[in-house]
Structure 1
């Protein structure tokens, strides 16, 4: 992997969705207030004037200052990594890690893509489903590998259906992966669990609290991070041995941090991406 990081001919595949202003695929969407260069000159002049300097916007070259944006956004918008703290205050009796405490070593390694695009929206991915997917790849998980769950939901980004049309992980499936030594699990869906609507319906029908965020709450028993809202898994040339880096931004005592996962693929890599 070290060679791929510096190889000029390595292909870099962006596996993320960025922050957008008020997209219909986010129930708590970011708000992005953008300032162009003319507005930037006004604001910079105001800042300098506030410091006692006689500066006006027209004093800047071409009367243009610096462009920037003001953002109001939660760390769970866009592609992000959930820290163990997101799931609960403790993991198996020990304090749960916040996002700045997540070891960087967890966030890079070889990824395995498990394809569950055949499943119906609202279904849960079981241990048996995971074992079948691994058998199809003739692959045995190793400690430190990153598992990516492919649902195909990223194709719906920008539409309200993105929030509902995907299968989710089960508690048992989540614990199974972590027990194999996996520390980071990603998904190209809005959430790691089944959609909110499916959870709500099943809870109302059964009255069982286990229907509410079971995969997330598995993180109170086993320690792991999940990456939600990934994208472009169909662009990967193979399903195993995919070098990936996915370092989250640190937020003090944060439950999550934005992340831009990138796959590094050697130039002559081939294979079926379906």
Structure 2
């Protein structure tokens, strides 16, 4: 990993989706109010005047201040990492970690991509499905590996269908991965579980509470983090031994934090250079 981080020929693959104002793929979309440089001069001058300094907007070089944005956004918008606290107050009887308590060691390591693009939207990925996918790769999981679930849903980003057209993890599948020593599981879908509408329909049909966020609720028994709304898994040149870093922003007592997962790929694997 150290050689890949510093090598000029390393290709960096961005596996994230950013924050976008009012995007149709978020039920609670970010609100981003942007201020250009002229507006920045006005606001900075007002700030200085409030502190007793006689500074006018035109006093700034070229009459321009600093651009910035005001954001109204939840930590579950864009690519983000959910902390155990998101799933429940305890994990197996112990206090659940908030996002600022997540060990950074969990958030870097080799990743393996498991391809479930063949599954129908609304289906659940079982432990048997995961075992079959690992068998196809002739790969045995090791403690500390990061598992990435590929559904292909990221191709729908920006559309309302992004919220509904993907398979989700099952509770047993989640437990199976964590019991292999996996601490971080990612998905390129909107959510880790099956879509909200599917959960609602199945709950009304069956009355079974385990239809509601079963993969999340599994986190009350086994300790792990999940990354939702990843992207570009198809840009990776292989499915195993992918060096990955995915450090979440620290939010005090937070249930989640925005994250920008980046894979490090040697130049001779892609024919490219650093990006």
TM-score normalised per structure 1: 0.98
Structure 1: distance between partners of 2:201 and 2:17: 28
Regions of 4+ moved over 6 Å: none
For structure 1, the 5+ residue unaligned runs are: none
Q: Distance in 2 between matches of 1:258 and 1:147?
A: 18
The equivalent of 2:121 in structure 1 is 121
Rounded Cα–Cα distance in structure 2 between residues aligned with 1:165 and 1:261: 23
Aligned residue in 2 for 1:4: 4
Which residue is equivalent to 2:111? 111
CA distance in 1, matches of 2:241, 2:187: 17
Counterpart in the other structure of 1:81: 81
Whether 2:44 is the aligned partner of 1:41: answer no
**Deviation digits for residues 174-223 of structure 1, max 9, x if unmatched?**
00000000000000000000000100000000000000000000000000
Alignment of 1:208-227 (within 5 A): 208-227=208-227
1:159 match: 159
Give runs of aligned pairs for residues 27-106 of structure 1, distance below 5 A. Answer: 27-106=27-106
1:2 Cα deviation after fit: 1.1
Residues in 2 aligned to 1:19 and 1:7: alpha-carbon distance in whole angstroms? 29
Q: Indicate the RMSD between aligned Cα atoms, in angstroms.
A: 0.8
How many Å separate the matches in 2 of 1:46 and 1:270? 51
Distance in 2 (alpha carbons) for counterparts of 1:143 and 1:269: 25
2:89, 2:3 → 1: CA distance? Answer: 39
SS at match of 2:172: helix
User: Number of residue pairs matched?
Assistant: 271
How big is each residue's C-alpha offset from its partner over 1:50-103, in whole Å with a ceiling of 9 and x where there is no partner? 010001001111100000000000000000000000000000000000000000
